[in-house]
Structure 1
Amino acid sequence: MEFDKLRVYTALNADELQIGSKCIFADAVGNLQDKVENNNEVSMELALIKPTDRPSRFEAENGNWYLLAYLIEPPAEPKYKPFKDIDKAMEAIKKHGGWIKKKSNRYQYIVIAKSSTSLRLSDGWFTLEAIFYDYVFADDGTPCGELAEE
């Protein structure tokens, strides 16, 4: 594999790397470049990032700490599905502060009523499927749905 310096993470940019990313780890740039270019090492998951007062900030899944990480691939995005029922939807919406945001225009809405199958926003009634496909939680941008079990 060709070495790309934009995929190298150090103590300076460690916080930009997501936990769970598949990486190749090393303690010297030359060693890291050799591992990447010669496929000398199998990638491991990033398990933890130490605070900024430590030079070896990357803990790999094997428990060892490293100075450098080379990103192979970010962690897989969690999969979501529409809420199973209104009560689960309302519980999650409340945990997110009550606000949801429409994907197409970024307007924010608060749920003002519920029925056994739908939620009422200021511009109409919507099924849980419509909420899932058209809206995200306003506070963090995650889908308006529940995690799908794999």
Structure 2
Amino acid sequence: VFFSPVASEHVPDDAYAIWLPGGYPELYAQQLSESTSWDSLHFHAETGTPILAECGGAMLLGKSLVDVNGADWPMAGIFPYISVMQDRLIALGHREDGSGVKGHEFHCSKREQDESLPPAFDVAQGDKGIRYNNVRASYVHWYFSGAQSQASIWFKRGF
């Protein structure tokens, strides 16, 4: 089921998994800061629904997004980090999780967070992300075409 936080659409209560793919939330920061979608994401985060948030999707789950002009836009607040836009590329490269799922990292923002927060993924290089319950957020865009069985495990049984 498609939903748009920009349009304040809610995730259905009976969703069995949620994927928040990468994108450019900084382009819609004002609309996202006013979104009413966050209550439905909080419901799913608290009830154990598997949620995978990649790059721009992960930026949505933090406390706020700071744009290149320094404006601080409130986001969902599921995680206690702030995403801060930079004027240049911060990370680029291929990544691989300990389970064998591969992906890539490409972003122009950094996450300001408490480093004691638990990592989301077992990657040797790059962003390990952050986790809470069955929610995983990182800057990595995962490739599931070569790892369908692991994707099924992630979304059917949870992380």
Question: TM-score category by the smaller chain?
Answer: under 0.3
Superposition TM-score, scaled by structure 2 size: 0.23
Larger radius of gyration: 1
